[in-house]
Amino acid sequence: MALRPSPDRHVKDDYPWWLVALITIGIVLAVVIVANDIYAQVFRTVVNGVGVTVFVTLVAFVLATVLGLGICLLGMADSQVLRQIARFYIEIIRGIPILVLLFYVAFVGAPALVAGYNFLISPLVTSGVAEPILVRDLSLMCRAIIALTVGYSSFIAEIFRAGFQSVDLGQIEAAKALGLSRYRRFRSVVFPQAIRVIFPPLSNDFVSMVKDSSLVSVLGVADITQMGKVYAAGSFRFFETYSIVTYIYLILTIGLSLALRRTEKWMKSR
C-alpha cells in the first residue's frame, strides 16, 4: 500500500517522542555509569578522546570548507582548463573511500609532501639559512586531518556549486547592469542567498565528519574510538566499552544536529 502524506497533519508538527525516548535511554546509561564501577572506569578512559575527536573534526572541517569553496570557484571559472582541473579533482576524490584515502595520505602522500617541501628549500638549507624550518616528519594527527580535509572538500565543493547555481540569474544580471564588480556581485548578491541553500547539506557533512573522524583511530590517533579499542583490548570488556563509545558519539552527533537545525530555522526566519 502506497504511503501518502496526510493533508491535515504535517511531520513538522509531530511531538518529538523519538527525542524523549533517546533522552530517557541517555539518562538510564548515565545512571549506570555513576552506579557501576566498570562502566565508570570505561567512561573515564574513553572520554579522554573527546578533545582529540572534536579538534580533528573542527580543524578538518574548516580546512575542507575553505578548500571546497576554492575548488567550487575554480569549477565556475571562465577558463575551461580550470573547470576541467576542478572536475578532475572532484571526481577522483569522491571515488575514493575515506578509509583508503586515510591510508594513502598517511603512508604515501605525507612522506611525499615532506620530501617535496625539503627538496624545495634545500638550497636555503645548504646555505645554512633555513635549517630550523626543515621538516622531519608529519604527525599522525596531521596526516589524519589532511586526509579528512581532502576527502570532504570534494563533497563540499559540490554543495557550494549547487548553492551558487540556485541563485536567480536575473539578479546576477541586474547586479552586472548596476556596474558591480565580480567580487561585489559574489559578496552582496550571490553568497547571502546561496548560504541558505548551502547551510543544511553543509551541516549534514559536519555531523558526518564527526562520525567519520572515528576512522582516524586506524592510524593510532587517540580519539574516542582509539581509546575504546585500547581499553577493550586490555580488559576484554567489549560490551561495556563499545556501549560507552556509542553513547558518547550519540551525544555529540545528536546534540550537534539539534543545534544546527535550530540555526537553520533561525536563518530561514530572517
pLDDT band at 30 (very low <50, low <70, confident <90, very high): confident
Q: Please check the confidence at residue 8 and state whether its pLDDT lies above 60.
A: no
Give this prediction's pTM. 0.84
Q: Please check the confidence at residue 2 and state whether its pLDDT lies above 70.
A: no
**Segment 104-115, tens digit of pLDDT:** 999 998 888 888
95-105 mean pLDDT = 93
Cβ proximity of 190 and 167 under 8 Å:
yes
141-167 mean pLDDT = 93
66-93 mean pLDDT = 93
**Spatial separation of the C-alpha atoms in residues 159 and 194, rounded to whole Å:** 10
C-alpha cell at 36: 557501576
**Segment 228-266, tens digit of pLDDT:** 999 999 888 899 999 999 989 998 998 899 899 888 888
pLDDT band at 1 (very low <50, low <70, confident <90, very high): very low
The per-residue pLDDT of the chain, averaged, comes to 86
User: Which residues, other chains included, contact 57 with Cβ-Cβ below 8 Å and sequence gap of 6+?
Assistant: 148, 206, 209, 210, 213
**Spatial separation of the C-alpha atoms in residues 137 and 119, rounded to whole Å:** 14
Q: Please check the confidence at residue 152 and state whether its pLDDT lies above 90.
A: yes
Q: How many CB atoms lie within 10 A of CB 231?
A: 22
Q: Please check the confidence at residue 60 and state whether its pLDDT lies above 50.
A: yes
**Spatial separation of the C-alpha atoms in residues 47 and 50, rounded to whole Å:** 5
Of the segments 21-30, 125-134, 159-168, which one has the largest average pLDDT value?
159-168
76-97 mean pLDDT = 93
Nearest CA to 142 out of 167, 174, 105, 169 is that of 105
Instruction: Please list the alpha-helical segments (H only) found in the chain.
Output: 17-35, 37-46, 50-75, 80-94, 98-104, 110-120, 122-126, 140-165, 169-177, 182-185, 191-212, 224-235, 238-269
Alpha-carbon dihedral sign for residues 107, 111, 112, 113: positive
At residue 196, the pLDDT reads: 87
**CA distances to 30, 42, 67 from 39, in Å:** 10, 5, 41
Q: pLDDT over 70 for what percent of the chain?
A: 91
